[in-house]
Amino acid sequence: MKQDSVPKEALQQLAPYLWEIPASFRSDMRVPARLFATKEMIDSLFNDRTLEQLVNVTTLPGIQGAALAMPDAHEGYGFPIGGVAGIAWPDGVISPGGIGYDINCGVRLLKTEQTYKEVEPHLEKLARALYAWIPSGVGRGGKLNLNPQDLDNVLKKGAAWLIQQGFGMAEDTEHCESNGCLEDADPDMVSQHAKERSAQQLGTMGAGNHFVEVDVVQKIFDDDMAERYGLFEGQIVVLIHTGSRGMGHQVATDYIRLMEKAMPRYGIQLPDRELASVPFSSVEGQNYFHAMNAAANFAWANRQMITWEIRQAWKEEFGKTHKELQILYDVAHNIAKIEEYEVDGQKKKLLVHRKGATRAFHDQPVLIPGSMGTASYVLAGNEESLKKSFGSTCHGAGRAMSRTAAKKKIGGRELLDDLTKSGIHVRAGSMLGLAEEAPFAYKDVELVVDCVHEAGIATKVARLKPCAVIKG
């Protein structure tokens, strides 16, 4: 759908990598809409509703500073994917569309002490072992079938519960955002249907753009930070990209429906029903927040279980005496959290919605996955992000082409052959699903990462090149 409600002339350049649609553009805007992008990226934003959605976000009651979009932004549900909004706490609203259906979709990076030279002869067998250990694809169940009490424990305790059951090491949670658990989780706020959908999904990857990827550290940009992170050129690492599976999707579905009905009671009128919101302090707002935290804990537990499965595949291929893979970091990119920022010279607590955007606190690892055949990146958060972007940066390359269009352009088998010829070992459950995620269906991750680096909201540390990709 062509975006014509925000003309190009409405965009004003504030800095080399920062653009603004002023609050005067539309009468219902409460704050400006700001976008991190290069001049070359701007044109692509007029191919869908990204900018219209960003302007709509500025109308949310309680929004502070500006509604933000990262350089990987594209059309989503309600919020654009790549959208960030800081909303006054506790009197502003909470909006499930600003978090997304895959609550706490995120990325975890595992480090090895092995080099590409050591691992390369094993890559084909390793890819097979990983595919065997990690259930992937639509509807695939995991190795654990959680009873109701166990599932509630996962929703309350996140990754820590898996570790207590023997699926990890005590120090694993030390390298996760929020230690892999949000304390404001309440399993009672999660519907029975959501629980039924997810009881067998722990330790599964799902489909779409989710993956497990074996990468080699191809280039180091910041020697000091790389040393702090334990990264070196030629090193083998593993990326996990997945979220809360059916749990998060059902929580979002349940509460979007509930909020649509509740909004008139609070006198809230918005330009897009997909922005359905209620006051954070309301009963509905609190119930959703507690359910969202529970779904986020499920996602951290899911990535923890997949970590255990990867470690088993590694032992299978390299022997039990081999050193366990270590977690560099695990970070969410679909979540809302209460954080403190300075707005208009005053420190304020805000409910920061991040949808397809990654937390980027000072010196914190930021994990930016590419798109199968392209590079991924490790960045470091900057102090500037706290001033410019509510401590946020991009989350990936961002789609540039629909899944349908990608399938029309290339077949799964042809793409598989192309990736194999380029030295990438691929295991996928669906050739159609593989074609949907073709690298050309995404924006250029190099340009996206360069943009946030030059804008000062994250710093390049290392570029990763894929060696083996496991997809649903």
- Active-site positions read 395
Question: Which residue matches tokens 């001049």?
Answer: 39
HEC assignment per residue over 293-343: HHHHHHHHHHHHHHHHHHHHHHHHHHCCCCCCCEEEEEEECEEEEEEEEEE
The one-letter amino acid code at 137 reads G
CA atoms of 145 and 159, how far apart (whole Å): 16
CA dihedral of residues 103, 241, 178, 393 (deg, nearest 10) = -90
Closest CA relative to residue 383, chosen from 360, 367, 354, 357: 360
Tally of CB atoms within 10 A around 158: 31
CA atoms of 34 and 217, how far apart (whole Å): 33
Taking the CA atoms of 69, 72, 74 and 77 in sequence, report the sign of the dihedral they define.
negative
DSSP secondary structure code for residue 101 in this structure: S
Please answer whether residues 87 and 65 qualify as being in contact, where contact means their C-beta atoms are separated by less than 8 angstroms. no
CA atoms of 397 and 73, how far apart (whole Å): 9
Go through the chain and tell me how many residues it has. Answer: 472
Residue 86 backbone phi and psi in degrees, to 5? -100, 120
CA atoms of 303 and 167, how far apart (whole Å): 11
Helical ranges in 62-136 per DSSP H:
116-119, 123-133
CA atoms of 109 and 213, how far apart (whole Å): 10
The one-letter amino acid code at 12 reads Q
The two structure tokens encoding residue 197: 């959908």
